[in-house]
Amino acid sequence: AQKITQTQPGMFVQEKEAVTLDCTYDTSDPSYGLFWYKQPSSGEMIFLIYQGSYDQQNATEGRYSLNFQKARKSANLVISASQLGDSAMYFCAMREGQVNTGKLIFGQGTTLQVKP
Amino acid sequence: KAGVTQTPRYLIKTRGQQVTLSCSPISGHRSVSWYQQTPGQGLQFLFEYFSETQRNKGNFPGRFSGRQFSNSRSEMNVSTLELGDSALYLCASSPDLVGVPNNEQFFGPGTRLTVL
């Protein structure tokens, strides 16, 4: 069963507008972490934001915020004031369990294109 | 602080050969994870090493193996290469700090392997 689902293969957004990238997840573990990464065409994965399952507030990092709805098992990434440099592939990922582990389960990704 | 480095960046091999990829984590990071990225399967976890021991393993055949040295540098080896092994291989390191829930994984630029 797919543990991380990103239903939007591609998205377009106008420069300076906000955009929401969807992510739903599936786990029976009460302790987990959710990550968003950006992958430009160069290939390197860039960490954007993290949300822990026990965090009471939605995570924010500059122009990035995470709309975490635990009951719906969704962790959507919101990018405000889009910039041309935001054009890239975006991945949602999950780490299960309380014990530190380097194993991340990734979604299929969403390609975002920012239009001038 | 230097980032995660991977060598070589590009590699071309033929079917049946074997290949070794190298990853040097960020100084002080003890956990190294490897991922395979292909257009069809997306990003898939291969294995994770921590303090020279394999801590987690993904669902890959035994042709894929790895190891970690005392300085945390890691290598992964693929024997008897198949066409389907063509992929971007990403390495990620993490400080793996106890009590820190969002132990971020820092990714390297990847090694692009082409199997002919």
Task: Provide the pLDDT for residue A96.
Answer: 82
Q: What is the tens place of the pLDDT at every residue in A60-90?
A: 999 999 999 999 999 999 999 999 999 999 9
Residue B6 CA to residue A116 CA, distance in Å, equals: 34
Q: Residue A97 above 80 pLDDT?
A: no
Q: How many helices (H) and strands (E) does chain A have?
A: 0, 12
**Which residues of B make CB contacts under 8 Å with A?**
31-33, 35, 42-45, 48, 50, 55-56, 58, 88, 90, 92, 94, 96-98, 100-110, 112
Tracing tokens 């689902």 back to the chain, one arrives at A5
Q: What sign does the CA torsion over B45, B46, B52, B56 have?
A: positive
Q: What percent of chain A has pLDDT over 70?
A: 96
Token readout for B69 is: 């040295």
Please calculate the CA angle A7-A10-A12 and round it to the nearest 5 degrees. Answer: 125
Q: What percent of chain B has pLDDT over 70?
A: 93
Q: What is the tens place of the pLDDT at every residue in A100-115?
A: 677 899 999 999 999 9
**A43: confidence class by pLDDT, cuts 50, 70, 90:** confident
Q: A56 CB near a chain B CB, below 8 Å?
A: no
Strand-pairing partners, residue A1, are none
- Tell me what the mean pLDDT of segment B102-114 comes to: 88
A110: closest chain B residue by CA = B42
Please calculate the CA angle A93-B50-B4 and round it to the nearest 5 degrees. Answer: 65
Task: Provide the pLDDT for residue A26.
Answer: 95
Nearest chain A Cα distance for residue B35, angstroms: 9
Q: A111 CB near a chain B CB, below 8 Å?
A: no
- The DSSP code for A41 is T
Across the interface, whether the CB atoms of B102 and A100 are under 8 A apart is answered: no
Residue B61 CA to residue B46 CA, distance in Å, equals: 10
Nearest chain A Cα distance for residue B70, angstroms: 18
- Tell me what the mean pLDDT of segment A35-55 comes to: 92
Q: Which residues lie closer than 8 Å to A28 by C-beta, 6 or more apart?
A: none
Q: Residue A2 above 80 pLDDT?
A: no
Number of residue pairs across A and B with CB atoms under 8 Å? 70
Task: Provide the pLDDT for residue B100.
Answer: 64
- Tell me what the mean pLDDT of segment A16-45 comes to: 93
Q: Which residues lie closer than 8 Å to B39 by C-beta, 6 or more apart?
A: none
Integer angstrom CA distances of residue A104 from A36, A101, B3, B35: 11, 8, 19, 9
Q: What percent of chain A has pLDDT over 90?
A: 78
B39: closest chain A residue by CA = A108
Return the amino acid letter for A38: K
Number of neighbouring beta carbons within 10 Å of residue A32: 20
C-beta of residue A94 within 8 angstroms of C-beta of residue A25: yes
B1 or B23: whose pLDDT is higher? B23
**A56: confidence class by pLDDT, cuts 50, 70, 90:** confident
Across the interface, whether the CB atoms of B58 and A103 are under 8 A apart is answered: yes
B108: closest chain A residue by CA = A44
